[in-house]
Amino acid sequence: MNDKIIFGPAGNPIGFKGKTTQVCNYIAHEGLDAYEYQATYGVRIGENSARELKKNSEKNKIRVSMHAPYYINLSSHDPKVIERSIERLVQSARAAEWMGAYRIVFHPGFYTKYTPSEAMDICKKTIEDILEKLESLGIKKFTFAPETTGKKSQLGNLEEIVNICQSFDNFAPTIDFAHIHARGQGSIKNGDDYRQILSYLEKELSIERLHCHFTRIEYTHAGERKHHTLEEKEYGPPVKPLLETLIEAGWDSTIICETPLIDQDALRLKSYYKDI
Ligand SMILES: [Zn+2]
């Protein structure tokens, strides 16, 4: 884990058949250094398993993050949805503490009938409720990492994610470059485009380690449509300019690979990085 940029899969490696608590043995053996635990359909891991996962990750020097459930909408007009979203993020924070996850990645929500600024106000109000609840439960060790979202209907363009992170302690962004690319209709073409994103982040936030997602992506006018492998070069965003720009800017970063070949493409990314 001495490299400034580390790589790992979004979820359990494709060939892995064992228990999730032991998955870091496999990931380390493959030569990777990060793992994003997927609580996509709900936080189902219990305390013992989560603590076991932590122990196993420490033994293997794997940096763990957690992806919170997808069904979260902090800017919903439905109070029940808000309530469930709060509950899911509270459960995520609790499990993340057990598991030693350094980031809790989540998608903030949707605009639905609201203007972006109204949706943002509701989102922030909901986050205040979450933080209050965590405090009352004595859960203290967490970093929420709202992710740049891939659809135009979702709250979470780059500026909005930065705004949320500026507004609260214990928040740091997850930069999903493919989502930015899809939302921007192919906006990332070269190193300059990456440089612009990174220097904006540097100017607006103080980030110790940049948490990123990467995949090649197909999009429509509404935004993200489908993830593609690194080999499918007809889809962006470009890979090597990203690595070059991160190296040049001196960022410590974690890149979680979200292509259909989560671990094999993470290895491919790592080998490109080593070549540069
Ligand atoms: Zn992502």
In the chain, domain spans: 5-275
pLDDT at 3: 79
Distance from the CA of 179 to the center of ligand 1, in angstroms? 7
Distance from the CA of 50 to the center of ligand 1, in angstroms? 22
pLDDT at 2: 54
Distance from the CA of 176 to the center of ligand 1, in angstroms? 5
Distance from the CA of 136 to the center of ligand 1, in angstroms? 30
pLDDT at 1: 43
pLDDT at 214: 97
Distance from the CA of 258 to the center of ligand 1, in angstroms? 7
d(C-alpha 199, C-alpha 269), whole Å: 22
CATH of domain 5-275: 3.20.20.150
Stretches where the chain sits below pLDDT 70 are 1-2
What angle do the packed helices 79-99 and 47-59 form, to 10 degrees? 50
Q: Are the C-beta atoms of 162 and 201 separated by less than 8 Å?
A: yes
pLDDT at 216: 96
